[in-house]
Amino acid sequence: MKKLFFSFLITAVILNLFGCSSPKQKETNEKAALHSTDSSHRSPRPVHWGYHGDDGPEHWAALSPVYAACGEGKTQSPIDIQESGTTTGSVWNLEYKNTSVRIAYNEHMNEIIDNGHTIQASVDEGSSLRYGNKTYQLKQFHFHTPSEHTLDGEHLPMEMHMVHQASDGSLAVIGVFFVEGKKANENFNKIISYLPDEKGESIHNASDSLSIRLHIPTDHHAYHYIGSLTTPPCTENVQWLILKEKISLTTDQIKAFSSRIGPNNRPTQPLNKRSVELDELKESN
């Protein structure tokens, strides 16, 4: 029972931290967290973690009890995807709207889940992903260089994570791989022009609209499996959809991201009998 309460508490804290894309929102969420837990059980501030040395991925579980799943979890992410090993799966419904862009370059864990060390774009409400009766709202997207998931054992130069959350707090992430090509991808130039240079810097242009649909591939077949956040606290039961088609950017475009954030990939984790389905995302607008 005590264990159950503890895991509930961790979940509550995680969900309150999740989505804290602006200082104002963060303040509100922290207030909500204080109301939902009494002071004697309040969780400590998340511990700093990184990608190298003493606070690197192999040490995450030891840094804080809140990060235990990073070591003990049996359904962790990322994984190696074996293209030949997938089974045919289900259909998801995708509805992406235009949004203003709010791009932040964050270093510390307490700013948001899954963007401790990345460039993240927060989006306006209204874009969603539906699976059966459950609707996940798109909250933010961010980048990893090189890719976190591997394809038949190989890393790709970059991976984008589109993070969605349902009203019950559960998460679904669409992953998109990037490859190097000769032609510049015009759709990404706008995002690149907004990339902050300094950690902690945030750029918001409410008047400029971004069509997120243009930032994902046209073929919507996706590898689907159940995994976790790829950063502490490595929370499990995350629905992962990794798009099969890749986006091509020039070497310079990829460098605009990798020079700021890379390397920020967690090593691949054991599959542990999980299956990977080939699902399809259908656009409904």
Task: Tell me the residue ranges of DSSP E strands in the chain.
Answer: 80-81, 87-95, 98-106, 118-122, 128-131, 134-144, 150-151, 158-166, 171-180, 202-211, 221-228, 236-243, 247-249, 277-283
Q: Return the HEC string of 100-134.
A: EEEEEEECCHHHCCCCCCEEEEECCCCCEEEECCE
**Widest CA span in the chain:** 58
Residue 167 DSSP one-character state: T
| Residue 34 backbone dihedrals phi, psi, to 5 degrees | -70, -35
* Positions in 47-66 near Zn ion (CB under 5 A): none
Closest separation in Å from C-beta 83 to Zn ion: 21
Place of tokens 């349902």: 166
Total residues interacting with Zn ion, rule: CB under 5 A: 2
Catalytic residue among 117, 149, 155, 161: 117
Q: Which is nearer to Zn ion, 161 or 244 (CB)?
A: 161
User: Rule CB under 5 A: is residue 161 a binding residue for Zn ion?
Assistant: yes
The tokens 């990345």 sit on which residue?
118
Nearer to Zn ion, 234 or 271 (CB): 234
Residue 52 catalytic? no
211-270 residues in contact with Zn ion (CB under 5 A) are none
For the segment 87-116, give every residue that binds Zn ion (CB under 5 A): 114
Of 161 and 220, which has the nearer Cβ to Zn ion?
161
* Shortest distance (Å) from residue 254 CB to Zn ion: 16
Return the bridge partners of 252, or none. none
Q: Which is nearer to Zn ion, 114 or 279 (CB)?
A: 114
* Span near Zn ion by CB under 5 A; candidates 55-63, 66-74, 155-163, 204-212: 155-163
Helix pair angle (251-261, 186-194), 10° resolution: 30
Binding site for Zn ion (CB under 5 A): 114, 161
Catalytic annotation, residues: 117
